[in-house]
Structure 1
Amino acid sequence: MSAAEHRQVGAAPDQAQSAAPGNPPAELLAAFEAYERAVQDNDLDELDAWFAPGAETMRGDDAGLLVGHEQISDFRSQRGGVARRRIETIEYRPLADGVALLVSTSVFASGGRGLQTQLWQLLPEGWRITAAHVTPRPRAFDSSIWRAVGDPLFQGAWEGPLGGLTVAVKDLFAIRGYRIGAGNPSYLDSAKAETRTAPAVRDLLRGGASLRGIARTDEFAYSIAGDNAHFGTPPNAAVPGALPGGSSSGPASAVAAGQADIGLATDTAGSVRIPASYQGLWGLRTTHDLVPRQGLLPLAQSFDTVGWLTRDGETLQGVADWCLSYESSDSTASAAGQRGDDLPARFLVPTEVLAAASTETAAAFEAFLLGLETGGVLDAPVERVSIGELSGYQEPFRIVQGAEAWRNNRRWLEEHPGATGPAVAQRFAAAARITEAEEQAARDALAPLRARLEQLVGAAVLLFPTAPGAAPSRAADATSIDATRTATLRMTTPAAVAGLPALSVPLLRVPAATGGREAPVGVCLVSRAGSDLALVRLGRRLASAAASAPTSTHPAATGERATKE
């Protein structure tokens, strides 16, 4: 045994030799081995017991830091266990009476090594872990984020305004030589390789960006939570243990994790804006039909819109400037008024939308408005306006969306019964029962909302929180998730109904749903059709004002690109 107090352990924890002098005390070693057995068995009760209770216990890994016993327990309940492994070595360092550091290496049965660092403390109930960090074995890529990934997968033009940037493309867009998977393994198996690349993808490549990979989507884009019954839930880099937001979950997680600079996504009822809000990103839903949808697998054409996700406003501005310009893009027929005409900093807050926000989010938003009013940013005082009772529009929206989703996917779904996850299957089953008369009545019912919004944004910009609150915990029950979905759609569907551009900017901080920290919530700006570029400029103006305000603590509030390491 070395002076460094190195311990060689046998093939499995429960077969380890008794501790020699200089090794961990017998009681500590027994606790470590019992904990490791619980890890291998995925015994959640035992694992909870081995971590010290309270709000100060910590666990970190490559996905982020969890603080508090409750957060750690929620994480384990969703993890599903770990791959089979054996402990190879343990390093022991006594730090004080009843406090010890254990660093162990593990060898996985399927190959690769990992590292575990644990701070143990002797409590009245025995040795317990008070802090832990896990370094997992290297992965080729995270399959919950990516379907296919390269370095790059496709090289863009050698020169262009987007040179040096990488793109994560939602698995709904055609890419020549690849199949569209739509977040469903059976659909991927039945698909044929595409012969052409979608214009929305091609524009980015022509601008110099390279295609990092094809990123996961919620099944058929028919969800807003960010989970996938087949491939798992992508991580939320901003709030470990929370849902990432969907349906553009893969592109958003890739961008938030720094694995791509741009997420090419779609937004039907919030699928760009909600992941942006949950993960502290910038997200632009473009004007409906401004970026054509050729080569895009549709969900509901009346609302489907192309959009982008970035970590900062400068990058988003560059993407929008390129892709929506006359001379550079073959994907847009008109960018009228977008070059020089700025939008006024005249904001209208729709009271019915704000009412759908949580108490904490509404308070953070009101504080943000106060900062605008005292910071000399506004061209006119903020006004409160009514857009009508939103509950009367949700059901018509659901009917139109469902009718189109069923028409688009009926043949495949009938040929592949049971191929979708339970939540998506339930939505398609409801959509299948919609009649033509119900669909037409629903379209008629949405017309007043569209007209009202178009009237309001003629000379002003709507301003409200993007989402009801912070990203829900991955461990939240189905009832809670459904309630969040309902409140979320109340806030996101108006812009979709009117086909207006909507921008989410990460400007609010609220208590995280998982507890013990703050989490981002976006501020949403909605403007008149065709004003996309000016909308991003206005969003950057607000972000700069928020960043310079004395109370601003949000690193994403700067509208500029972070310095690269």
Structure 2
Amino acid sequence: MPDGLIDAFWAYENALVTNDLEALDAAFAPGETTLRGDAGGLLVGHDRISSFRGARGGAPIRTITSIHVRVLSNEYALIVSENEPRSGGRGLVTQLWARHADADGWVVESAQVAGAPAAMNTAVWRVLGNPLVASTDSDGGALAGETVAVKDLFDVQGFAVGAGIPEFLAEAEPAHSHAPAVAALLATGASVRGIAQTDEFAYSIAGKNVHYGTPPNVAVPGAIPGGSSSGPASAVALGHASIGLATDTAGSIRVPASYQGLWGLRTTHGAVDAGGLLPLAESFDTIGWLTRSPSVLRAAAASSLDGDAQQPVEPQFVISTELLFAADVAMQGAVVDAVGRLEADGLIGEVGVVDLGDTSGFFDAFRTVQAAEAWRRHGDWITAHPGVLAPDVASRFETASTVTAEAESSAREVLAAARTQLDDALAGRILLLPSTSSTAPSVGADPDEIDAARAATLAMTCVAGIGGYPALSVPLLEVDGAPAGLCLVGPRGTDLALIDIAAPFVR
């Protein structure tokens, strides 16, 4: 047995128990080739592993039951250890240890962690079944065999809405019937797999929930999933469901779709019956879906959209340089490259540049009206339950509580003029822009970094909300190995047409 190897192993285990981040960092090999994998994916590089640990808040308490050592050379050894978590079950950890010249003794170069199998991931699901609700279709509808993750804002008969907050759930009454959007999917052949988590009151686009945890981003391990439709998005990306029934007020479908490499549709405002839905800001709230394929997305959308009200659209595309420059430089480059490929492949004609006019006050007006409506809807409950919300969500509601009637009225006037301005500038053409300002930030990113990404993203996503337009996030972009969405914003009533146009984009 090499000198110091077992001592290094136990030092690492003790650091896990005490969540000694400095010691844990020192136990893993420095550099960009160090590996750590688990059911959530693979982290590559010491810094990404360190960031993951810092955001995790400690590892589950466990007892080591056996250690198996295979010495490979004087410099390398493999250790496989079995453990019993305090919560039950059994776990397995495989580590490649190395004696590094630039480290103090033995360090881990690669680790694979297999925890005790969970009955379900409660960061993704609030309630899960097999199915939770069976399809009501007996004729082999278009969605036969598909499964749905329902965002925890929709009524599902026999279950209460929790809106991402345990205290709200405890006081809520079970629904007497399904929300129309749920019933439509059931009638078309799909079954409900479960009720999936959301950010608190859906007032966030990060996907982090202090009560239930952060759903995993399987496309970018260690990164936030995007919200507020984080649960449905992660369920679809993980393969736990094929359809995420979700909502989008300021980007809550488009953001997780972009961060996790999914198709996501925000529908024309008012095009889908919003009965049985807990609102956030009804002037902008829309219903939509997240899927892994355009065909399933189209079938899901067709189940709720009125086909007679849907309109064709000429595939004429434009880009706003002002909106494009709101994204980071890497995202700008990815959009330009993608548009160039689509033009070269003959999938779109020459893309023009559109001048949207002065949009400087659009976002502030959008945010003011959204905040005023959110406070009217939830302010009384929040006031009666101080300290329940996470600091970032609580801060937004605190700001919302200060919006005066005069400020709201003025903002609505700005939005009415903005809607006309956008209609005139776009003139029935399809606007192309990034779905998000960047790829998914790390779970352990500084809050200021996440806020900056949020603000830049909302400056782009609010355009669809202001115009009441449908917006489709297409998983077409890639930046440094991470997925991102190209967003198509079309005229009102062209929801299905956007899917048909974009379906050939991804091969």
* TM-score category, normalised to shorter length: over 0.9
Query: What is the CA-CA distance between 1:161 and the residue it aligns to?
Result: 1.3
Query: Partner letter of residue 491 of structure 1?
Result: M
The separation in 1 between residues aligned to 2:331 and 2:263, in whole angstroms, is 18
Is residue 486 of structure 1 aligned with residue 438 of structure 2? no
8 A Cα contact 1:352 1:389, kept in partner? no
Is residue 473 of structure 1 aligned with residue 442 of structure 2? yes
The separation in 2 between residues aligned to 1:357 and 1:286, in whole angstroms, is 23
Q: Give the structure 2 partner of residue 521 of structure 1.
A: 484
Gaps in structure 1 of 5+ consecutive residues: 1-23, 327-334, 512-517, 544-557, 559-565
2:94 corresponds to which of 117, 120, 124 = 117
1:355 corresponds to which of 301, 311, 325 = 325
2:229 corresponds to which of 226, 248, 266 = 248
Helix, strand or coil for the counterpart of 1:133? strand
Helix, strand or coil for the counterpart of 2:83? strand
Helix, strand or coil for the counterpart of 2:42? strand
2:275 corresponds to which of 294, 298, 307 = 294
* 1:524-543 superposed matches below 5 A: 524-543=487-506
Q: Give the structure 1 partner of residue 47 of structure 2.
A: 70
Which entry has the higher C-alpha Rg, 1 or 2? 1
Query: What is the CA-CA distance between 1:304 and the residue it aligns to?
Result: 0.1
The separation in 1 between residues aligned to 2:253 and 2:111, in whole angstroms, is 34
8 A Cα contact 2:310 2:496, kept in partner? no
The separation in 2 between residues aligned to 1:442 and 1:452, in whole angstroms, is 15
The separation in 2 between residues aligned to 1:85 and 1:541, in whole angstroms, is 49
Query: What is the CA-CA distance between 1:322 and the residue it aligns to?
Result: 2.9
Is residue 425 of structure 1 aligned with residue 398 of structure 2? no
Helix, strand or coil for the counterpart of 2:32? coil
Q: Give the structure 1 partner of residue 465 of structure 2.
A: 496
8 A Cα contact 1:387 1:449, kept in partner? no
Q: Give the structure 1 partner of residue 68 of structure 2.
A: 91
The verdict on how the C-alpha distance between 1:509 and 1:403 changes in structure 2, with shifts beyond 3 A counting, is: same
8 A Cα contact 1:112 1:137, kept in partner? yes
* 1:200-219 superposed matches below 5 A: 200-219=181-200
* 1:380-419 superposed matches below 5 A: 381-419=350-388
Paired positions, count: 503
Query: What is the CA-CA distance between 1:452 and the residue it aligns to?
Result: 2.5
Q: Give the structure 2 partner of residue 548 of structure 1.
A: none
The separation in 1 between residues aligned to 2:278 and 2:310, in whole angstroms, is 30
The separation in 1 between residues aligned to 2:90 and 2:321, in whole angstroms, is 54
Q: Give the structure 1 partner of residue 177 of structure 2.
A: 196
The separation in 2 between residues aligned to 1:375 and 1:535, in whole angstroms, is 18
User: Which moves more between the two structures, 67-76 or 190-199?
Assistant: 190-199
The separation in 2 between residues aligned to 1:114 and 1:87, in whole angstroms, is 9
The separation in 1 between residues aligned to 2:498 and 2:115, in whole angstroms, is 42
The separation in 2 between residues aligned to 1:376 and 1:83, in whole angstroms, is 53
The separation in 2 between residues aligned to 1:45 and 1:248, in whole angstroms, is 34
2:309 corresponds to which of 336, 349, 370 = 336
* 1:25-40 superposed matches below 5 A: 25-40=2-17
8 A Cα contact 1:470 1:521, kept in partner? yes
Query: Partner letter of residue 159 of structure 2?
Result: Y
Q: Deviations over 1:395-446 (max 9, x none)?
A: 1111100111111112212222222111111111111111111111001011
Question: Under a length normalisation based on structure 2, what TM-score does the superposition of the two structures give?
Answer: 0.97
Is residue 313 of structure 1 aligned with residue 294 of structure 2? yes
The verdict on how the C-alpha distance between 1:390 and 1:136 changes in structure 2, with shifts beyond 3 A counting, is: farther
The separation in 1 between residues aligned to 2:303 and 2:277, in whole angstroms, is 20
Helix, strand or coil for the counterpart of 2:346? coil
The separation in 2 between residues aligned to 1:73 and 1:408, in whole angstroms, is 40
The separation in 2 between residues aligned to 1:39 and 1:403, in whole angstroms, is 45
Query: Partner letter of residue 493 of structure 1?
Result: C
Is residue 259 of structure 1 aligned with residue 232 of structure 2? no
8 A Cα contact 1:94 1:100, kept in partner? yes
Q: Deviations over 1:303-323 (max 9, x none)?
A: 000010001112112212333
Query: What is the CA-CA distance between 1:26 and the residue it aligns to?
Result: 4.4
Helix, strand or coil for the counterpart of 2:361? helix
Query: Partner letter of residue 111 of structure 2?
Result: A
Is residue 234 of structure 1 aligned with residue 215 of structure 2? yes
Is residue 451 of structure 1 aligned with residue 420 of structure 2? yes
Q: Deviations over 1:217-276 (max 9, x none)?
A: 110010111111211111111001111111111111111111111000000000000000
Query: Partner letter of residue 293 of structure 1?
Result: A
Query: What is the CA-CA distance between 1:501 and the residue it aligns to?
Result: 0.3
Query: What is the CA-CA distance between 1:160 and the residue it aligns to?
Result: 1.6
Q: Give the structure 1 partner of residue 145 of structure 2.
A: 164
The separation in 1 between residues aligned to 2:110 and 2:418, in whole angstroms, is 52
Percent of pairs identical after alignment? 52
Query: Partner letter of residue 161 of structure 1?
Result: A
CA RMSD of aligned residues (A): 1.3
The separation in 2 between residues aligned to 1:390 and 1:114, in whole angstroms, is 54
2:117 corresponds to which of 138, 156, 164 = 138
The separation in 2 between residues aligned to 1:452 and 1:347, in whole angstroms, is 18
8 A Cα contact 2:342 2:348, kept in partner? yes
8 A Cα contact 2:2 2:74, kept in partner? no
8 A Cα contact 1:66 1:241, kept in partner? yes
Helix, strand or coil for the counterpart of 2:432? strand
1:47 corresponds to which of 24, 29, 45 = 24
Q: Deviations over 1:26-63 (max 9, x none)?
A: 42111111111111111111110000000000000000
Helix, strand or coil for the counterpart of 2:499? helix
Q: Give the structure 2 partner of residue 100 of structure 1.
A: 77
The separation in 1 between residues aligned to 2:252 and 2:354, in whole angstroms, is 25
The separation in 2 between residues aligned to 1:208 and 1:76, in whole angstroms, is 42
Query: What is the CA-CA distance between 1:325 and the residue it aligns to?
Result: 4.8
Question: Under a length normalisation based on structure 1, what TM-score does the superposition of the two structures give?
Answer: 0.87
1:462 corresponds to which of 413, 431, 449 = 431
